[in-house]
């Protein structure tokens, strides 16, 4: 990464603002643009892959990082955006370390291999191909970007029921809860312990060459951060959520410095009150879901989150962000991730509109 494109001092200022954001003391929103290029047809945009498994197996980790470095040098950094490499191996790569089958087909997919709960191993397999591949890429990132402003995001390991469903299948897990509730809890603990170990292993490597921790949607932390979630929870009751899911969420919040939680879909709002009671949970990301009302229709939920002393993180389009700003007046307490492809001039104009009082 060329330091003239993004000096380390600029990263330090953005990190300081994130620190104020987590404390609820920032008087404006944080705005991260994930796709800003002067040349919207830059060849690197076609060459670069979204996830690591999409690169050919014969391509070395160093070659992958060289492509990512070219991509980061081509990008324009507007507002609170900083150069960040997403160590993305698919949604829930922890399941691959526990035996799930991984396939690449336009995206990364995990397929169950455990015929019974008992078939799920009690320890992760650090000899499996995907674990080794990830750590090879992580070491190559360290070699390339030590001493630069590039941040490396820990992988989306997946947690709790989501990994269990990738190992067993969603319908099978629903039956397991009824037939073998105690064994389900044991396997969930195996998954959570594996999540903590793998997160710490990645975090230790990253912190050996970076002062910050980066998470999905662009947040930075001077300690550690990660998005917590349990998408499978849409299939269980609130009582089951509090019995099977909430304890590990609370423990994860104690484990991390600046954790936030992804609520995926309107039915998961039934868990919001329980989450808002977790003192160490810093923020909520509520996603209403495909076909649901746009963000401006959910201001009552956002205000509830903000009134509880939590921050709100959201993946949002430019138009929806501007409409939300018009509806709420101010977006203080929000972290906005805008992923659509924009030119630098357009992104700068949008940023000014979003942060003005």
**For the chain, what's the residue count?**
357
Domains in the chain: how many in total?
A: 1
Structure tokens at 166: 């990738």
Per-residue model confidence (pLDDT) at position 157? 96
Structure tokens at 84: 């960040």
Asked if the structure places residue 3 within a domain, the reply is no
Q: What is the CA radius of gyration of the chain?
A: 20
Asked if the structure places residue 108 within a domain, the reply is yes
Asked if the structure places residue 20 within a domain, the reply is no
Mean pLDDT per 10-residue interval, the chain, length 357 residues: 86 97 97 92 89 95 96 96 95 96 90 97 96 97 95 95 96 97 97 98 96 95 97 94 96 98 95 97 94 94 98 97 96 97 96 93
d(CA 172, CA 133): 30
Chain centroid offset of residue 122 CA: 25
CATH for 93: 3.20.20.210
Q: Is 259 helix (H, G, I), strand (E, B) or coil?
A: strand
Any idea which residue has 């998408």 for tokens? 231
Asked if the structure places residue 23 within a domain, the reply is no
Asked if the structure places residue 22 within a domain, the reply is no
CA 287, 292, 297, 298 torsion: positive or negative?
A: negative
Asked if the structure places residue 169 within a domain, the reply is yes
pLDDT, one tens digit per residue, over 76-124 is 999 999 999 999 999 999 999 999 999 998 889 999 999 999 999 999 9
| Burial group, residue 41, by CB count within 10 angstroms (0-12, 13-18, 19+) | exposed
Asked if the structure places residue 238 within a domain, the reply is yes
Asked if the structure places residue 86 within a domain, the reply is yes
d(CA 62, CA 85): 14
Give me the domain span that covers residue 235: 29-355
d(CA 15, CA 222): 7
DSSP code of residue 36: B
């Amino acid at each position: 990464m060329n330091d003239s494109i993004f000096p380390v001092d600029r990263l330090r200022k953005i990190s300081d603002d994130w620190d104020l954001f987590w404390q609820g003391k920032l008087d404006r929103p944080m705005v991260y643009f994930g796709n800003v290029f002067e040349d919207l047809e830059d060849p690197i945009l076609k060459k670069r892959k979204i996830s690591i498994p999409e690169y050919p197996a014969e391509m070395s980790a160093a070659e992958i990082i060289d492509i990512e470095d070219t991509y980061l040098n081509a990008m324009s950094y507007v507002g609170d955006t900083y150069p960040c490499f997403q160590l993305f191996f698919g949604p829930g790569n922890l399941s691959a370390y526990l035996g799930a089958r991984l396939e690449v087909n336009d995206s990364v997919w995990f397929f169950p291999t455990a015929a019974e709960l008992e078939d799920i191993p009690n320890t992760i397999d650090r000899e499996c191909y995907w674990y080794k591949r990830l750590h090879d890429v992580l070491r190559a990132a360290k070699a390339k970007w030590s001493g630069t402003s590039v941040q490396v995001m820990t992988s989306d390991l997946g947690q709790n029921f989501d990994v269990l469903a990738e190992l067993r299948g969603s319908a099978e897990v629903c039956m397991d809860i009824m037939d073998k509730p105690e064994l389900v809890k044991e396997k969930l603990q195996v998954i959570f312990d594996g999540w903590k170990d793998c997160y710490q292993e990645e975090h230790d490597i990253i912190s050996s060459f970076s002062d910050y921790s980066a998470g999905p949607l662009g947040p930075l932390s001077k300690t550690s951060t990660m998005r917590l979630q349990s998408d499978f929870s849409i299939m269980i009751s609130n009582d089951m959520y509090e019995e099977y899911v909430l304890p590990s969420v609370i423990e994860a919040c104690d484990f991390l410095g600046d954790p936030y939680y992804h609520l995926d879909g309107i039915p998961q709002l039934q868990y919001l009150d329980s989450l808002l009671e977790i003192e160490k949970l810093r923020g909520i990301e509520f996603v209403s879901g495909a076909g649901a009302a746009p963000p401006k229709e959910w201001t009552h939920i956002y205000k509830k989150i903000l009134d509880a002393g939590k921050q709100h993180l959201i993946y949002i389009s430019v138009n929806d962000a501007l409409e939300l700003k018009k509806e709420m007046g101010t977006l203080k307490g929000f972290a906005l991730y805008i992923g659509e492809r924009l030119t630098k001039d357009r992104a700068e104009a949008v940023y000014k509109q979003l942060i003005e009082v």
